[in-house]
Each structure stands twice: as structure tokens, then as C-alpha cells.
Structure 1
Amino acid sequence: MGQLEGKTAVVTGGSTGIGLATAKRLAAEGAHVFITGRREPELEKAVAAVGNATAVPGDVSVAADVECLYRHVREHGRGLDVLFANAGVNHLATLDELTEDIHDAVFDTNVKGTFLTVQKALPLLNDGASVILTASTAAEGGAAGMSAYGASKAAVRAYARAWAGELGSRVRVNVISPGPVSTPMWDDAFGDRAGEMMATVAAGLPSKRVAHPDEIAAAVTFLASPESSFVYGANLYVDGGMNQI
């Protein structure tokens, strides 16, 4: 018996990286996992890799798409026990390069998308459910070129504090803050220089390496499971020491 046997989970941004690794881990612990993402071909591959999963294509920044996701969850008939609001985007741009369109795109997915994902899940959340939001060490680090991303993740952290208080009598809300993780986001941001940039960042960490997505998934699974039953409003750093030392 897994820690989440018979439970129902939702993972947004579940087709690659941290989302996919977490969906696999939650399914391995016994949950049926609904995964969503904007790229349908990748989503179908992810379902095949996860196994006990259902794919629902959609964009978390679009209310109708989020409502569609939860219609599928409702039809499953068991409510919702674990919600991992993970979908996020980054776009490297310094202040003078940052356009209104880029800024809006980052905040639409990372902030509005998180808000819609959690708010529209409320009628489905079972008593004792666990909600986990994905923030980032960038919320505190102030890295050049990542002001919009960092600000969006700071907003996610603020959401978690407020929602943990508002929902705490029935639902636990916590945050995971990954540091550098080997995901496709590096390729999106740096293209051919992704490997070089990862090596540079890793050299400055106490761990001397970036994380594997499975390492973040393990921490999310802890927050999703009964093992964290008295953890409310926390921000769990899984960052190789980046923001801790």
C-alpha cells in the first residue's frame, strides 16, 4: 500500500520536468493523477509514462480550461486529495528588455494560473486535502534578468501564507521552492548554452550540482502525504543550499 492509495491528485504543468516527475511519484504511491499542460502531444506521452493518470489539455491562465480540468476530476467521483499547482514559465529579460507582453505572460501563468487552479478546486477538495504551490528560490535571490519570474514566485509564496490561514481548518497549503533543477526550462531560457549555464550555477552551490526532478518530486510527495500532517503554510526549500548558506 502506498501513502496515497485510493487518493486523487491533480498536477498542473505535468507533461515535463518537476510536474512529470511528481505525477509519476504520486501515482507510484497509489494516487490516480490528473495532469494538465498546454502541449497535448507531450501530455499524452506523460500519461503513458505515469500509468495511473488522465490527461486534460489546457492553459491554467484560462478559467474555462481550469473548469474543464475539474469537470474531469468531478466525474472521477472521489473528490480531490492532492493539488500540486506547479505550472510556470520563465522569460529572461533585464528591466530595459522586459516588455509588457512578456511581463503579462509570466504573471498570467505563474500568478493568475495558480489562483485559478486553487480557487476552482475548492468545491472538490476533500477534508484533509493537501495543496502544494511551486514557488522558487528566485523569489528571494534577485537574479539579473529574472525580475518578473522572481516577483511572480514571491506572489505565489504570499498566496500560500494567506490561503493556509483561510483554509487551514480543512485543507493544508504549503509551498515548495526548488533551486536549480535539470528541466527543459533551461533549454527554453538559454538554448544551446543551457548545459554551460547549468554547470556554472552548479559550481556555486554547496551541492556542486543541480537537482534531478525526482528530488523535487520526493519533497512534494512528503507535503502531499500524511507524513506532513502538521505542516501548514511552510516553504520547503529544495535548493542544494543555494538560499541557505
Structure 2
Amino acid sequence: MPKISAEDKNLTVLNIFTTDAPEKQESLVGAMREIVDAAAYPGWMTSTVHAGVDKPGTANFIQWRSRADLEDRYNAEEFEHRTLPLFGELTTSIRLLQNKIVYSGTQSGDKAEISPARGDYTVIAVFGVKENNQDQLANALGPKSEHLNDVPGYVSHTVLKGIAARGLEGSFVISYSQWENKEAFDAYQAVAQDDRPAARMEAERITNSLLTSVDFNTYQVVHTRAAGE
């Protein structure tokens, strides 16, 4: 199963699609599974397909050897004339987000893992931010959020710094977190302001002062495959 670590120097891509109906989500997942199962692109390492839970949509967490390998994939005739038009028919938005992992922490202390077998409740948030504040926001979302280790049901939290994008204007930072279940995440979100630890309050204060937009959805991992499988 794919593992996530800030020590890895490979390119991490999050392709996030939104749609307006559950049946279109099913079609999206099916199309993504077919592409992942047939993948044999030079430099492609892993793909992990996520199905939207709270809102219809999908996310594909992809690991590439390099940006050059990804751009070769984007420039291929199949991608331009088959893949993008297919997804365009099923989606209301397409964001192809290239990233560098800058922080990854887990409750266990091991590397974060993503797999359908785990059953994690996954939260992906995309934060818009001015370019000169990108590193500060990533720090607030990452190292300053180690208070999560004391939260029941928390599994892992990864922060990704955006380096390029299609379908999204401006700079961005992504938070990818895993929880044991929806109840654990909802309970964390529902903690009253007065009851939140000081470290959380400070991290949230910095985050709120820097972000220019935020969009998130929750997901269940439904399929994964690595090169050579």
C-alpha cells in the first residue's frame, strides 16, 4: 500500500473532481479505476482512488517520480483527447494539483499509509493562500498541529505545499488527514472554543489569518495500485 512521508522527494499529485450527483460519482470512480488498473506510464508510481462521502466527488492521490514524467503524461494524446473529455462530461470541476509533502505525522509514529483495507475516514482540504504566506500556512497546518496526537480517533495528518496546478488559480496548501471514523472527526470539529487546547487555538488563529479560501470534502479510499502490480 502507498506510504506518505515528508522524507520522500517524489512528486505527489492530488486530482480532485467534483460532481453534482451520486450516480456521476459512481461513474467517475469506475473510470478512474480503469485508468489506474491500466497505468503503465514512465515515472508513475502509485494511484489511490477516493470516493466522496459528504459531497459527491472523487480524489486521486498519485505518486510520480518527477514533474517531467507527469508532464509527459499530460502532453500525451490519450490524456488530452480521451481522459480529460471523459472526466469533463461527469464533473462540475477538475483540479489537478502538484505538490511537495512538507509534513506528515501519525498517531503511531510510523509512516502514513493509504489503502481501502484500512477503512479510514479521510478529509482533504485545499487552502488558498498568498504565495508569500504559503510556507507560514504550511507550518501552521503541520508542525503547529501536533496537538492532534492527543485527539481520540486521529490517525494521521499530512500537509502538502502546492507547486503547480491545472484548474486552480493562485498558491495553495493541502491538508490530508485520516481518522478512524466520521464520529471521531465530527467530535474534534465540535469541541467548543473555550475547551480547545492553547496549541490548537494558536494554530487555528494563524491559519485563519493567512488563508484566502478553503474547500474540503471527506472521502473513503476505494482502490489503489502501484507500478508493477
TM-score range, shorter-chain basis? Answer: under 0.3
What is the TM-score normalised by the length of structure 2? Answer: 0.26
What is the TM-score normalised by the length of structure 1? Answer: 0.24
Higher helix share: 1
Q: Which has the higher contact order (CA 8 A, sep 6+)?
A: 2
Higher strand share: 2
